[in-house]
Amino acid sequence: MLAFKAPALSLPAPALFLAACLAFYVLRSGFLRPYLKFIWHCFIRPIGAVDQKARLEKFYEGQADVYDTTRDRLLRGRKTMLSLSAAHLKSIRAAQPGKRLVWIDVGGGTGYNIELMNKHMPILESFDAVYLIDLCEPLLEIARKRFQQRGWTNVHVLCQDAGEFSLPEWTKGSDPKGSVGFVTLSYSLSMIPSFYTVLDRVEHVLCPKDGLLSVVDFYTAGKQPSLHEKAIGGASKECGWVSRWFWQIWFDFDHVSLSPARRSYLEYKFGTIKSYNGRNQFILPFIVRIPYYIWLGRPRSCDVSRACHAFEVEGGNMVGNCSPAPSKAIKEADDSIPSLQLGQPTSRNEGGVVIDITPPFSSFHYHLNRHWRLPYYEQPVHKEFRTFIYSFTWANPLEDMRHLQLSPQGFHVRPQRIHCVDMNPCQGHLLELKLAGIQSLDYDDFFALFGKGRHANFRRLLDSNLAPHLSSSAYQFWRINIKAFSSSFYLRGYSGWALRLTGFIFRLAGVSKDIQALCTADTLKEQEEIWKTKLRPVLLNPVVVALLKNPVFCWNALGVPLNQRQMLLDEGNIYEFVRDTLDPLVSSHLLKTGNYFYLLALLGHYTPESCPEYLTRAGFEALKANNGQVLDAFRLHTDSIVNVLRGLSDCSLTRALIMDHLDWFAPSSPDIDEEVAELHRVIAPGGFVFWRSAARKPWYNVNFEHRGFKVTALGVRQGEKGPALDRVNMYASFWRAVRM
């Protein structure tokens, strides 16, 4: 019989001594004391009380002094909620300086939220009165001491039932309707049994014109049964069945309700401004993930003004204004619209969508500081796009402006409306971020984001500056992708993979220094020499060309679909296409000072000397002038071009740039005829349609000619010896169609 002896576990004497000292220090210092009290009162000690007030006081009386210490990591999202709220309050109130502002923090407990808000909006200077309402005296005692130490004479602590709260400033017998500007519920809504009464009360006292309600709390949610819930609930709202079952039961022991009813009534009663669904990775990341949400909203009766644009989504991309005074709301949006009578069913076309103003309204508000982005319901096609394809553009705007014949003044021209259309929601999120950045950031921060492609404080900028100007869906996207600007932003998205691969090939070939030399060359002769001797042999070698031939790589990295790929192959091969694209460029446009397209592709960022005009200081200031007035022209559609065209009035457009969009269609597709027919209907006589193509002679040109357009080639590539069409030279041809 064999016997095995387990090896003895021994530690060196110094290690044992240090461990003993550490244990003694922890016990002596009381480091664990707050957490032991938290565990005892939350998980072990029976509550036993039936009355809500008695239950709260018994639950918190032994842990009130350690409440803030033990909840800092558990109650996530409070800082974000307050930061967002402060940004929105500043934005809303900018148009009404000096107006009285009252804040009610319902279920505010120890006053921690009010102390946090002081970092964003000084309490004494920003608020005329702040009221903390809670039913638990042990917590309120902590709050009173906190505010006394701060010397905040405008902060008042009230021990009241949240469903029946009454402020001392409300005179007896008067109606407090609309007298409050700001209300918060921070991890309190889930603890209030009479939540219907509380939300009804909040809705009554909140100012209908510019009041703001902010909520952060735990929640659970199953599958979203309607498009409406998806639209206002945001990404990542759904919780798995195990998570729903476990957390509802777990929190129920402490009389905290995570059932969906509270959030559903909240989103029904108020209009959604911002919504974010997160997971608190408390203690054990990826294992303990408590669902929580941050929500900002306004009263349904919100009057539409410059700081509050409301839309109502009923189906597809049908949009209706749900202000109680639609004639005023629509008139403010477009002074050319005749007056509308309240209560009269009316419909019209605006921005590619049908606006149906027919009370009563049953859907949701979609409030924006600027109404650039039109609401959309998520369709199956939207799910195909996990992120944006392009973080930068390959179309030369100077060439476009030369042929658009708008004005030689460039940024000083102000089109009445600019419709931006993309089926990929993420491309809309990116354009929204740029518009919001122009509106709310200074030049240095803006250039850091979109020039350098990185910013150390993007999270702060997002919550404190950009959020009030973003749609809820765009905010959620960037909140989830908060690390987008931690390194080069332009190496992200599908196109980012192409740039990463290009950089890898150059490093593998040992020409990284030559890349830098090419981008800093002072003359075209120097630039051409570096290209021909160092870089051309690398990019045009058989291995790289073979990769570019791959249809999967063409789509996922370059955004070139199969039909477009076939068009260029019908007129040549991949080697010839790349050669004819790159060879003429190096001898005609200097990367250092003018050709920012390829400078970005090689360096991963722009420079102040070589960047798009909107990234120059002069261009940025021109767009930002007069509170960004020129930006009002933008309307962002998350839809197909033909669907947007269907919603536009006859002869309502004078110019249309459809890029290389038609290259994506198969020659046998009937959709081409329908889209060209819609373009002919909405383009005014004498108006232009422009497009680029990977082919020298696109097959669909005849479709325009058959519909009564006069088609003219503005540029066709002549091969490797011919001049570059523009600073990109990526497309083989550029076309204009004039409606006769």
Confidence (pLDDT) at 70: 54
Q: Is the pLDDT of residue 317 over 50?
A: no
Q: Which of 732, 669, 678 is nearest to 704 (CA)?
A: 678
Q: The tokens of 78 are what?
A: 């409070």
CA distance 496 to 516: 19
Confidence (pLDDT) at 545: 73
Confidence (pLDDT) at 14: 61
Q: Is the pLDDT of residue 703 over 80?
A: yes
Confidence (pLDDT) at 608: 95
Average pLDDT, whole number, for the chain?
80
Confidence (pLDDT) at 691: 93
According to DSSP, the residues that pair with 103 across neighbouring strands are 130, 182
Confidence (pLDDT) at 338: 26
CA angle 580-581-582, nearest 5°?
Answer: 100
Q: Do 181 and 102 touch, CB atoms closer than 8 A?
A: yes
3-state secondary structure of 485: coil
CA separation (Å) from 303 to 131, 207, 217, 429, 627? 26, 10, 28, 26, 21
Q: Is the pLDDT of residue 50 over 90?
A: no
Question: Which residue has tokens 């799910």?
Answer: 383
Q: Is the pLDDT of residue 309 over 50?
A: no
For the chain, what percent of residues have pLDDT higher than 90?
43
Q: What is the 3-state secondary structure (H, E, C) of 584-627?
A: HHHCCCCCCCCCHHHHHHHHCCCECCECCHHHCHHHHHHHHHHH
**Residue 367 CA to its chain's centroid (Å):** 14
Amino acid at 264: S
303 φ/ψ angles, rounded to the nearest 5 degrees: -75, 135
Length, in residues, of the chain: 740
Domains of the chain and CATH, by start: 67-167+174-299 (3.40.50.150), 312-367 (no CATH), 640-740 (3.40.50.150)
pTM: 0.83
Confidence of residue 56 (pLDDT cuts 50, 70, 90): low
Q: Is the pLDDT of residue 323 over 60?
A: no
CA angle 160-163-167, nearest 5°?
Answer: 50
pLDDT in tens, 129-138: 999 999 888 8
3-state secondary structure of 339: coil
Q: Is the pLDDT of residue 263 over 70?
A: yes
Q: The tokens of 455 are what?
A: 């910013």
CA distance 377 to 365: 14
pLDDT in tens, 564-575: 777 777 787 778
Higher pLDDT, residue 18 or 676 = 676
Region 244-251: what's the mean pLDDT?
87
Q: Is the pLDDT of residue 8 over 80?
A: no
Confidence of residue 544 (pLDDT cuts 50, 70, 90): confident
Q: Is the pLDDT of residue 348 over 80?
A: no
Q: Is the pLDDT of residue 421 over 90?
A: yes
- Residues sharing a CB contact under 8 Å with residue 366, sequence separation 6 or more, in sequence order: 271, 272, 309, 310, 311, 312, 313, 375, 471, 472
Q: Peptide bond preceding 375: is omega within 30 degrees of 0, i.e. cis?
A: no
Q: Which of 191, 185, 194, 198 is nearest to 253 (CA)?
A: 191
Q: Is 549 exposed, middle or buried (0-12, 13-18, 19+ CB in 10 A)?
A: middle
Phi/psi-derived region of residue 453, left when phi > 0, alpha when psi is between -120 and 50, beta in every other case: left
Region 177-192: what's the mean pLDDT?
94
CA distance 447 to 455: 9
Confidence (pLDDT) at 363: 41
Confidence (pLDDT) at 708: 92
